[in-house]
């Protein structure tokens, strides 16, 4: 089953791709200006608790691309999604559309979070105290919104 992209899907996908390419361009263009040692891990308060060589930031970029492309691949095959609700011929389109919205927004939020982490790390900055709670609220809040909607459209 193919779920057609809406205008919103296209906008979310475009922003996500801009974030992917943007972080890569940022790393390539700014490589020589980054310090040799950069923050590579932060505690829950956003304080730096491990430093590493600037080359380690490439791991974060690779993980960003792998996660984004992996989710994109799964997005193409709705028949393998664990919907959490019974899919019937009557609700199939609504259920899969709702789950596609969830996937699109989570991909975008993942790209935004990783991009922010990459910029903070290459600039040698601590994360703001609000970062961890904001990420948790953003991700789990988004999932909750779409799960509630899924529960409502399943009938």
SS (H, E, C) 25-68: HHHHHHHHHCCCEEEEEECCCCCEEEEEEHHHHHHHHHHHHHHH
CA distances from 84 to 87, 98, 99, 120, 145 (A): 9, 12, 10, 37, 14
For the chain, domain boundaries? 7-153
User: Taking residues 78-101, what's their average pLDDT?
Assistant: 89
Write down the pLDDT at residue 87: 87
Write down the pLDDT at residue 61: 97
Inform me whether the pLDDT recorded for 51 exceeds 90.
yes
Write down the pLDDT at residue 65: 97
Write down the pLDDT at residue 72: 94
DSSP 127: P
Q: Which of 148, 63, 52 is nearest to 113 (CA)?
A: 63
If one compares 63 and 87, the residue with the highest pLDDT of the two is 63
Q: Which of 117, 116, 80 is nearest to 99 (CA)?
A: 80
Please state which of the ranges 27-41, 53-67, 85-99, 131-145 shows the lowest mean pLDDT: 85-99
Q: What is the mean pLDDT of the chain?
A: 94
pLDDT tens per residue across span 98-141: 999 999 999 999 999 999 999 999 999 999 999 999 999 999 99
When pLDDT is cut at 50, 70 and 90, the band that residue 82 belongs to is confident
Inform me whether the pLDDT recorded for 155 exceeds 80.
no
Q: Backbone phi, then psi, for 50, in 5-degree steps?
A: -160, 135
Q: Which of 102, 97, 68 is nearest to 6 (CA)?
A: 97
């Amino acid at each position: 089953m193919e779920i057609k992209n809406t205008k919103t899907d296209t906008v979310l996908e475009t922003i996500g791709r801009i974030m992917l390419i943007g972080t890569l361009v940022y790393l390539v263009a700014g490589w020589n200006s980054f310090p040799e040692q950069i923050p590579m891990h932060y505690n829950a308060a956003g304080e730096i608790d491990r430093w590493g060589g600037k080359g380690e930031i490439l791991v974060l970029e690779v993980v960003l691309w792998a996660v984004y492309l992996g989710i994109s691949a799964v997005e193409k095959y709705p028949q393998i999604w664990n919907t959490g609700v019974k899919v019937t011929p009557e609700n199939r389109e609504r259920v899969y559309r709702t789950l596609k919205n969830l996937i699109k927004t989570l991909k975008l939020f993942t790209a935004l979070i990783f991009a922010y982490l990459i910029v903070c790390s290459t600039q040698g900055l601590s994360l703001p105290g609000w970062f961890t709670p904001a990420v948790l609220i953003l991700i789990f809040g988004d999932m909750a919104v779409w799960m509630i909607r899924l529960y409502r459209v399943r009938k």
